[in-house]
Structures are given as C-alpha cells and as structure tokens.
Structure 1
Amino acid sequence: MTPFQQAVVELVRHLAPGEVLTYADVAAEVGRPGSAQAVANVLRRVPGLPWWRVVPSTGRLYRTHAPVQAPLLRAEGVDVDDRRVRPSHDQSR
C-alpha cells in the first residue's frame, strides 16, 4: 500500500462507533485535500474497515450503499433519515 492508502486505513480503522466523517474529511486529515475519490477507492478495496462511518459531504448516503450503511450507522446511534445523516456534535472530529 502507498503511504496515502495506509494513512486512510489507519484513520478509518480508528473511527469510534457513531463517529462519522466525510470522504473529504478523511482526505484532508491524511494530508491530501481534494482526494475524496481516492479515499473511496481505498475503502472499496481494503476489507475489514468500518467503511460505513465515511459518508459523502452532502450527508446523503449513496443509494447503492444505503441498504447496508444506514442500519449499521443507526445501530451505532447515528441519526439517519431518508438516506441523510443528521449532524450531531459527537459524530465528527
């Protein structure tokens, strides 16, 4: 893995239950602002990561991810309504 990919894996691996970041947040935190799509590519390829804790910057879950992602987020106490993650003070860094 590249240093970028390793940094994404480590950051996402350590997200606590109920903690939600956007793809752009993750990219910025690992020092690669503007690399949200690259973050998504890492999450798609690395098994075992809590990928459901990373959402689009709009807060609206992708239609294809929502059937699995929304229940996982709700189980962790995240407010998801009509595929949209509702902001909460304890859901982001």
Structure 2
Amino acid sequence: MTQPRADFATQVLEVVDSIPSGRVMTYGDVAAVLGSRAARTVGQVMAYHGHQVPWWRVVRASGHVAPGHEDRALEHFRAEGTPIMETSAGYRVNLRMARYLP
C-alpha cells in the first residue's frame, strides 16, 4: 500500500480533527467534504496517520468501525455519548443520529 499524497492527508486529518465530540463521519463523508470520491484513500490516511486525530469518529458507511478497533472505539463512544446500536455482531454507530456533515 502506498502512502496518500501529503496535501490530501493533511486535509483529511483537518476534517477529522473538526468532527465534534459524540458525532461521526463516514470515510466517504470525509472524502466528499474535500471534493473527492476517494473514501478508500481516506481510509489509508487514517491507517497511517489516524493516531494524530480522534480516529474513532470516522466509521464505515454501515456505522461500524475499522476491524480490530471495536473495543477501543466503544470506550470513546461511551465517553462522548455517541449514539450506538447493539447488533447481533456487537454494535454500530447510529448514523441517523450521530452523523456530522459540516
């Protein structure tokens, strides 16, 4: 996997850093704010640099977090009061209530 362009990465991180506590955006939402359809590239940016921003506030279009991060994200969601829905496989964010679109 190659790293995304630095300027796009910086823009992604700025958008993610602006998401209010208790709210989320999807990878596609972040891309759209930047005038792009590159949701997968947003995911790559988060994989490389997400530790610098509130990474748990970026979720899949289904409301699920990236695999392997469910437990840590849930701690943040509970602390911030992010609306979540219990599912048979665990949980997902309630996008209808939590989605942030600047």
Contact in 2 for aligned 1:22/1:55 (Cα 8 Å): yes
Q: 2:80 aligns with which of 69, 73, 76?
A: 76
For the aligned residues, what is the CA RMSD?
Answer: 1.7
Tell which structure's C-alpha radius of gyration is larger.
2
What CA distance in whole angstroms lies between the structure 2 residues aligned with 1:8 and 1:57?
17
Task: Report the TM-score, using the length of structure 2 for normalisation.
Answer: 0.78
What CA distance in whole angstroms lies between the structure 1 residues aligned with 2:57 and 2:48?
16
Contact in 2 for aligned 1:18/1:91 (Cα 8 Å): no
Contact in 1 for aligned 2:26/2:59 (Cα 8 Å): yes
The alignment status of 1:27 with 2:35, answered yes or no, reads no
The alignment status of 1:85 with 2:90, answered yes or no, reads no
Structure 1 gaps, min length 5: none
What CA distance in whole angstroms lies between the structure 1 residues aligned with 2:81 and 2:96?
10
- How far off its partner does 1:83 sit? 2.0
What CA distance in whole angstroms lies between the structure 2 residues aligned with 1:78 and 1:64?
19
Q: Which amino acid aligns with 2:47?
A: R
